[in-house]
Structure 1
């Protein structure tokens, strides 16, 4: 029995290669392989996401600073993290100060830089060499010691650096590091973030399986004629089914090979992706499918292809003298088509609580609801086609074609319907996530400089005011001091000119110290020994750095007044100073902001306040946005392949119409109507289904009120319709070739 079945499968594969003529068979097999191959490539890429994100997290963890006790045989380094920016692109790296000849090893770096040296990522080095990096070069004026290897980067386009400095130990937040790297730890996703991932993954993957099923049914009419010929020479119905499965199996295997080749091409092209959504790009070596996801998916494809081919014969009676389709005589039943939607809705209605978005029943429920869309669509298309009446010749041709074979039209647009349904639900979840995000504050650009002396702070202030348009921008110099018992007092450094004008202290002399009498907290007494808090924490010094002189009591100075007001000369006796000089920039052009960053250098930062966004949520949203675009392109490509195959299969009937006087314009408009009507029906099915899915997952899974972004839904719908119309326009050249009279010949 096994040998007989194997022979039937082998015969089916041989017919797929040579049935109906070698050229026709090759075209048919190529179309099927392309369709399945696209699905395989998407599945392999999707199953690579866990490994891709895990590898990025592992490399980010391996280069992290780990403060702690010195390790034997290692000279620790003073290090501090610096996050910078250049024209909207983030720059990250470390400032390091070596303490000996045996510093700890950093991943991807041959040797840590000494003062006056830098180590740059390849992308950052390339940016500095380009004309665009002219304003960035002053920040990396040291000798380039080398480039950071892949082990020290999360992506090939990451802008990362190590800068050697001899002032790191004096800066706040500096750490003494004996090693780099720690075990990867990941923040658990919130319920809405989990829901975004689940909705995005199912929306991207369900259309793939839908089109794989559609691809295995390409050229169904020609296949049925071949099977009828086999019945004529003695094959029974069981053999016919096995031979049909063999034909589909060959197409599935060819698609597997094509998908593997396309996946390898994707791995080669991935490092060239430079969009900000991927935060420094992706390494092609990280795009490795997870065998727990990829292997079952790949094994399921041949089984799915065979099952689809056999299941398609349920409406066909293949006899020795021909083929008879029962589809036009028996109206489709709706009850079983609604079963997945009912099951999926029931699973989502269970209400799994605030943190149940990753529960298997939620994933299965979403998949079932999305799967119901391509099942219900043929029934709706059939009912709508039956209601359509007369009109122009093009309209009549399109309507009659839909009435004779509505299933084919429904299959063509089923992928669009699934993507639209999932995208609408996904947009609702995203809209709810954004609505719960705190409202953005007023955007401000804040420049902060850490000064180690009063003269250093005054030099920065002078350089800042020398920039065009910043001469009158107020600059404040602050510090935090603490006593031996740990009590802290805020301090502001002001010259007498500003104190006379702003605080009304007419008898101010340089060297005086004033205390605000209405601040409600105590200040150090004259003669107290204090430390500058940031210097004390960084340098761990036990020797007091300043002795408080005589203090004069004055009213509070300014709305955010510090408790202690010090004139510059009063700090002349301090053994170590840690001052923060800051200024809020007015609206400025990007080049001016970059010049401010150059003035600040590595002893401070320039931050845009009020523009922050949760990194995890932003990354999920960006990746899903890119994924949605890719899936839409995939659906458009699959629709184009299916439309080309339909034209090729109907070439004799179209050529006959052209030979009998039907103009090509009529045929073109008929082709447009044959896609517009199913697309309109698909939109009518997808929009309510997407809103219903949005309501189910938000209300019963994460217990949030439903949120529908009407403009986004309209844009998604218009995009789907535009994609179909574009595909239709792409098929018109094939239509002109199809209507040639040569296609009237029997093959």
Structure 2
């Protein structure tokens, strides 16, 4: 029986048969053939490379899908807009009464709407097939699950409606969004231009879409975020295509023995890498489809999407499909430039030529040169040049990957004395410092980028954060009630709510010098409350129900002096944004007690008129807007949720506001949230990729490890040596990453015109996070290491 020739023995015939002008295609095809017919070892190497490349490709595809996902989220949010402050309309067959009843639950936003269609052609909200009847509600799938679980018990008390259906995908911005539409009746009297309105369609009243323009600093932030998050992925893909390099080079030596020249062996090696990259593309597509399908069940830092949102741009997906295989070929050729492959072996176990430093320094210097022209530009001098920004940031981060091998080589060459485990680790690092550096390149780049981003976030957040007048030591929650809701009985209900320590209830409106329909020229505030509550607004000499005061010494003091005169007729605000309401005159009492204005619960110190409940005419009470200020017992679990439940029972459209000493720009917060979500994905990829890389290196050393154990080396010693082999490069990598990250962060801060400052706690925490990822991966690789140290590892085929 004739034996089937192996790919290696068939090589001379292939050399003679192939035309000279097709060397590249012939050799690449031969490399691909070797990759698929190389036996068990070839398949394992192919699998490791494909998995590594596949994870990177999957994340790249997810990244290319982000613009599409954001666009769909924006479009769906725009389509369901229901402006309660739009133009006033009369009741018609095509109108809908709608009230905003948003709430919060355990830190998550719950979008709520009360609806009352007024005719058969009332506009239907996206995602609904029909409106629920009064007392019923349709909910999102996520809210339905929450209300049906033990975790949603407190929220269920706040939404006393019967669930009759679910909101379709077109009416939600994310799969985990909490939302509901509840049927209501008699909403018309509550139209106020704020919570409740009559609308004839959803979306923008003028049919356009909103555009949120960003200032140049936020645009710069977005550019830096994308560059920083994607660079570690690219670095890992470049590392993955070099898995199994030592075994591959030994196979190439066999090819030299049967007649291949050095250039041909490099092209064949490139073909093997190309095969792994192509299979990796297939794996990446599968990983992406799996992640896309699972995305509907995942929420990252408050962001969720539907699987249908994640549709990569065809152009960007095609770019990934072309770039990854091309990069695999180029990286392989670059890696073999310093390897001498001869018929009798590979000259790499001898001491390699020292790496040159000068060209490695050119990359970070070039990055700084690209960013230098924009230093001091700030937000006043137009947009930052996006090409220079991305190019400069990438060059600095690539500089980490080029400098780290040189640093590892220079340091480990000077290491020596120590225990057996230390000597084994040092000798291994001295022989293959490049492999050790490649393993930690991704985490070093990620940490460098994270430090720079953290510095930029910390430096500019002051520009997007402003202090409020809210004294959080005095009040923690504020509940704004609708106009006409009696705030005094409401105060008693809040006082009886679990977790509430103190309640201050105040009703307020504005007094003008003329009828509000004609537009008053000068106004003054009117506040109503019990004596105890009014003492939170002013210093009162004495007080009993029926007293009236004029507080002076605060803001708007001139208006009080001009308007609040005994016997003068003032006019209460009856319009209040609704465009309707008659005149409500009020005569200033003859006996107003003097008081001194102090800073009230709302954080303001205004001169105003203060009335106790008995001093308020009956016709004025429905014109007051109540606000209840609550001091909470923060040791009570779910105290805020109990307050929201009480507020919903009193007024379904009440606003419950958590007080904060500062408030931040929504655009800045959105970018920060998206960055954290992306960083989590990148760290997960890096952890998985490091594990694959570690297992690949252990697999290549299986025979060596088994030999050492057979000669009596303790397994504990070998395990410790593997730990040292990881610890030394990661320590050097994190030190380099911190240096580059601080440099990049300093340049970015100078670009936006912010005073240079370093949050060392954040730098240390980010560096520690990178080290923790590597240590976790090392711990996970110990069980396979123990199995590889068995005597069976000496077997060969």
Asked if TM exceeds 0.5, the reply is yes
* Aligned residue in 2 for 1:669: 720
**Which residue of 578, 598, 603 maps to 1:538?**
578
Q: Which secondary structure does the structure 1 equivalent of 2:199 belong to?
A: strand
Determine whether 1:25 maps to 2:47: no
Q: Give, in angstroms, the shift of residue 181 of structure 1.
A: 1.1
Contact 2:444 2:736 in 1 (8 A): yes
Q: TM-score, normalised by structure 1?
A: 0.90
Q: Which secondary structure does the structure 2 equivalent of 1:475 belong to?
A: strand
Deviations 1:404-458 (A, max 9, x none): 22111111111121111111111211221334433465332112222426xx444
- The 5-angstrom pairing of residues 303-382 of structure 1 reads 303-325=326-348, 328-351=351-374, 353-355=377-379, 356-357=383-384, 359-382=386-409
* Aligned residue in 1 for 2:14: none
* Aligned residue in 1 for 2:506: 476
Question: C-alpha separation between the residues in 2 aligned to 1:48 and 1:409?
Answer: 33
Contact 1:12 1:247 in 2 (8 A): yes
Contact 1:451 1:580 in 2 (8 A): yes
* Aligned residue in 1 for 2:161: 142
* Aligned residue in 2 for 1:704: 754
Question: C-alpha separation between the residues in 2 aligned to 1:361 and 1:346?
Answer: 9
Question: C-alpha separation between the residues in 2 aligned to 1:578 and 1:158?
Answer: 36
Alpha-carbon distance change, 102 to 652 in structure 1, aligned in 2, over 3 angstroms: same
Contact 2:65 2:310 in 1 (8 A): yes
* Aligned residue in 2 for 1:167: 187
Alpha-carbon distance change, 561 to 72 in structure 1, aligned in 2, over 3 angstroms: closer
Question: C-alpha separation between the residues in 2 aligned to 1:502 and 1:170?
Answer: 35
Alpha-carbon distance change, 471 to 407 in structure 1, aligned in 2, over 3 angstroms: closer
Determine whether 1:660 maps to 2:682: no
Q: Give, in angstroms, the shift of residue 305 of structure 1.
A: 0.2
Q: Give, in angstroms, the shift of residue 506 of structure 1.
A: 8.5
Question: C-alpha separation between the residues in 2 aligned to 1:197 and 1:656?
Answer: 52
Question: C-alpha separation between the residues in 1 aligned to 2:151 and 2:706?
Answer: 58
Contact 2:364 2:399 in 1 (8 A): yes
Determine whether 1:256 maps to 2:294: no
Question: C-alpha separation between the residues in 2 aligned to 1:693 and 1:514?
Answer: 60
* Aligned residue in 1 for 2:25: 6
Alpha-carbon distance change, 312 to 119 in structure 1, aligned in 2, over 3 angstroms: same
Q: Which secondary structure does the structure 2 equivalent of 1:563 belong to?
A: strand
Contact 1:524 1:548 in 2 (8 A): no
Q: Give, in angstroms, the shift of residue 741 of structure 1.
A: 3.2
Determine whether 1:82 maps to 2:82: no
**Which residue of 421, 425, 438 maps to 2:466?**
438
Alpha-carbon distance change, 379 to 567 in structure 1, aligned in 2, over 3 angstroms: closer
Q: Which secondary structure does the structure 2 equivalent of 1:110 belong to?
A: coil
Gaps in structure 1 of 5+ consecutive residues: none
Question: C-alpha separation between the residues in 2 aligned to 1:98 and 1:131?
Answer: 33
Contact 2:127 2:167 in 1 (8 A): yes
Deviations 1:290-319 (A, max 9, x none): 234332133100000011111121112223
Question: C-alpha separation between the residues in 1 aligned to 2:22 and 2:647?
Answer: 79
**Which residue of 53, 77, 102 maps to 2:70?**
53
Question: C-alpha separation between the residues in 2 aligned to 1:586 and 1:320?
Answer: 83
**Which residue of 216, 235, 255 maps to 2:260?**
235
* Between 323-332 and 246-255, the greater mean CA deviation after superposition: 323-332
Question: C-alpha separation between the residues in 2 aligned to 1:499 and 1:664?
Answer: 77
Question: C-alpha separation between the residues in 2 aligned to 1:410 and 1:642?
Answer: 12
Q: Which secondary structure does the structure 2 equivalent of 1:389 belong to?
A: coil
Q: TM-score, normalised by structure 2?
A: 0.85
Q: Give, in angstroms, the shift of residue 257 of structure 1.
A: 0.7
Alpha-carbon distance change, 187 to 678 in structure 1, aligned in 2, over 3 angstroms: same
Alpha-carbon distance change, 435 to 461 in structure 1, aligned in 2, over 3 angstroms: closer
Question: C-alpha separation between the residues in 1 aligned to 2:770 and 2:638?
Answer: 40
Q: Which secondary structure does the structure 1 equivalent of 2:124 belong to?
A: coil
Q: Which secondary structure does the structure 1 equivalent of 2:49 belong to?
A: helix
Determine whether 1:491 maps to 2:550: no
Question: C-alpha separation between the residues in 2 aligned to 1:72 and 1:569?
Answer: 37
Determine whether 1:36 maps to 2:82: no
Question: C-alpha separation between the residues in 2 aligned to 1:743 and 1:647?
Answer: 12
Question: C-alpha separation between the residues in 2 aligned to 1:712 and 1:198?
Answer: 21
* Aligned residue in 2 for 1:132: 151
Contact 1:200 1:624 in 2 (8 A): yes
Contact 1:315 1:327 in 2 (8 A): no
Q: Give, in angstroms, the shift of residue 187 of structure 1.
A: 2.2
Question: C-alpha separation between the residues in 1 aligned to 2:443 and 2:544?
Answer: 79
* Aligned residue in 1 for 2:630: 585
- The 5-angstrom pairing of residues 343-742 of structure 1 reads 343-351=366-374, 353-355=377-379, 356-357=383-384, 359-436=386-463, 437-439=465-467, 441-443=470-472, 444-452=476-484, 456-467=486-497, 473-482=503-512, 483-484=514-515, 485-487=518-520, 488-493=523-528, 519-523=560-564, 530=571, 532-534=573-575, 537-538=577-578, 540-541=580-581, 543-544=582-583, 546-549=584-587, 551-557=589-595, 559=597, 560=606, 562-563=608-609, 565=611, 567-568=613-614, 571-573=617-619, 577-588=622-633, 589=636, 591-601=638-648, 602-610=652-660, 612-699=663-750, 701-742=751-792
Question: C-alpha separation between the residues in 1 aligned to 2:533 and 2:589?
Answer: 18
Q: Which secondary structure does the structure 2 equivalent of 1:552 belong to?
A: coil
* Aligned residue in 1 for 2:229: 204
Determine whether 1:269 maps to 2:294: yes
Contact 2:35 2:46 in 1 (8 A): yes
* Aligned residue in 2 for 1:294: 317
Alpha-carbon distance change, 215 to 573 in structure 1, aligned in 2, over 3 angstroms: closer
* Between 53-62 and 111-120, the greater mean CA deviation after superposition: 111-120
Question: C-alpha separation between the residues in 1 aligned to 2:713 and 2:417?
Answer: 17
* Aligned residue in 1 for 2:269: 244
Alpha-carbon distance change, 165 to 120 in structure 1, aligned in 2, over 3 angstroms: farther
**Which residue of 170, 180, 204 maps to 2:202?**
180
**Number of matched residues?**
734
Question: C-alpha separation between the residues in 1 aligned to 2:328 and 2:26?
Answer: 19
* Between 248-257 and 347-356, the greater mean CA deviation after superposition: 347-356
Q: Give, in angstroms, the shift of residue 345 of structure 1.
A: 0.7
Question: C-alpha separation between the residues in 1 aligned to 2:87 and 2:724?
Answer: 71
Q: Give, in angstroms, the shift of residue 116 of structure 1.
A: 3.5
Contact 2:421 2:717 in 1 (8 A): yes
Contact 2:480 2:654 in 1 (8 A): yes
Q: Which secondary structure does the structure 1 equivalent of 2:561 belong to?
A: coil
Alpha-carbon distance change, 513 to 305 in structure 1, aligned in 2, over 3 angstroms: same
Gaps in structure 2 of 5+ consecutive residues: 1-19, 598-605
**Which residue of 110, 126, 137 maps to 1:107?**
126
